[in-house]
Amino acid sequence: MSADEQPPYDVYNRNCPARMVFTRLADKWSLLIIRRLKTDAVRFNQLRRDLDGVSAKMLTQTLRNLERDGLIQRQIFATVPVTVEYSLTGLGQTLADTIDELALWAENHIETVLESQQQFDQEQG
Amino acid sequence: MSADEQPPYDVYNRNCPARMVFTRLADKWSLLIIRRLKTDAVRFNQLRRDLDGVSAKMLTQTLRNLERDGLIQRQIFATVPVTVEYSLTGLGQTLADTIDELALWAENHIETVLESQQQFDQEQG
DNA sequence: CGGGATCCGTTCCGATACTG
DNA sequence: CAGTATCGGAACGGATCCCG
């Protein structure tokens, strides 16, 4: 493709930074976990209770992914039984700020969204 | 559960506004579509070309969901063959601003994330 | 051009059982 | 307490064919 033919948004290819990050966050629990860890460190089972509906398997899997990306950190305390605490890294905190704005948007506009859904569903019959 | 026993974040139940919105956005294409439509209205096949790897099926499906939520609108022009343009609604534009910040975060921190991934993978062997 | 319908493989995810 | 292992259904997503 020549220079003057490339689309205005070639950033949308698979190697685009935004796309890579969006892909990581685009699962059922990542955004919720980051948001939950924003205020304080939380233990595994506490996190599990706080996030309504998450299974141990998915929680572990999602936490590992976030740890791999350097967004959260895992601290092990040699108690009996063992204690494991998850918390945001410095990097994770900067992302949490942005995600919080997304949550704020949600709270401010959820009513409008819900109404739109109802209207859409009626029109379709 | 009594009032003084409820977790600090009961907002994480399934009916929490943030969670509902996160769930909608947590798929492979929604965030990318909203971001692409931020600058201008785009036709179906153009959108398909811009978003590297999307199939017609998933594009249609995701666009319908976003339309149902009132985030984008669909305009049909009676040309031959027919022309269909997608664009953000007013509501969608307010969300697009927040998503843009997420994309900006990604661009600023993707290097750090990539390095963290490499280190994590090495440590695991 | 902008889809819908169908088929089909893959991945996601929850439930259950088990472990140090 | 903090996981791992396994299983099976559900949802995701691509390929192909068809249509106004």
Cα–Cα distance measured from residue A100 to residue A82, given in angstroms and rounded to the nearest whole number: 31
Q: Report if residue A14 sits inside a domain.
A: no
SS3 readout for B33-80: HHHHHCCCCEEHHHHHHHCCCCCHHHHHHHHHHHHHCCCEEEEEECCC
Q: Report if residue B53 sits inside a domain.
A: yes
pLDDT digits (tens, 9 = 90+) for B66-109: 999 999 999 999 999 999 999 999 999 999 999 999 999 999 99
Q: Report if residue A11 sits inside a domain.
A: no
Cα–Cα distance measured from residue A68 to residue B75, given in angstroms and rounded to the nearest whole number: 43
**Alpha-carbon dihedral sign for residues A119, A26, A105, B1:** positive
Residues 42 to 101 of A: which have CB under 8 A from any B CB?
A: 49-53, 67-71, 91, 94-95, 98-99, 101
Nucleotides of C under 7 A from a protein CB: 1-6, 12-17, 20
pLDDT category of residue A26 using cuts at 50, 70 and 90: confident
Give the amino acid at B103: A
Q: Report if residue B62 sits inside a domain.
A: yes
| Nearest residue to B94 (alpha-carbon basis) of A108, A124, A2, A115 | A108
Portion of chain B with pLDDT greater than 90, in percent: 69
Q: Report if residue B24 sits inside a domain.
A: yes
The answer to whether A27 touches B26, Cβ cutoff 8 Å, is: yes
Instruction: Look up tokens 């201008």; give the residue.
Output: B40
Q: Report if residue A9 sits inside a domain.
A: no
Query: Gap from B72 CA to C6 C1', in Å?
Result: 28
| CATH code of residue A28 | 1.10.10.10
Between B124 and A125, where is the model more confident?
Answer: B124
pLDDT category of residue A11 using cuts at 50, 70 and 90: very low
Mean pLDDT of all residues in A15-27: 88
Cα–Cα distance measured from residue A18 to residue A94, given in angstroms and rounded to the nearest whole number: 15
Which chain B residue's Cα is nearest to A124?
Answer: B68
Cα–Cα distance measured from residue B23 to residue B34, given in angstroms and rounded to the nearest whole number: 15
Q: Please state, rounded to an integer, the average pLDDT across all residues of chain B.
A: 88
Which residues of chain A are within 8 Å of residue B105 when distances are taken between CB atoms?
Answer: 21, 94-95, 98
pLDDT category of residue B35 using cuts at 50, 70 and 90: very high
Count chain A–chain B contacts defined by CB atoms under 8 A. 150
Count of structural domains within chain A? 1
Mean pLDDT of all residues in A41-51: 94
The whole-model pTM stands at 0.90
Between B10 and A99, where is the model more confident?
Answer: A99
Residue-range definition of the domain harbouring residue B79: 19-124
What's residue B124's pLDDT? 73
What's residue B6's pLDDT? 43
Q: Report if residue B40 sits inside a domain.
A: yes
Which residues of chain A are within 8 Å of residue B112 when distances are taken between CB atoms?
Answer: 70, 91
Asked if A70 lies within 8 A of B117 by C-beta distance, the reply is: yes
User: Does an H or E element contain A117, and which?
Assistant: helix A90-124
Q: Please state, rounded to an integer, the average pLDDT across all residues of chain A.
A: 88
Q: Report if residue B77 sits inside a domain.
A: yes
Asked if B35 lies within 8 A of A18 by C-beta distance, the reply is: yes
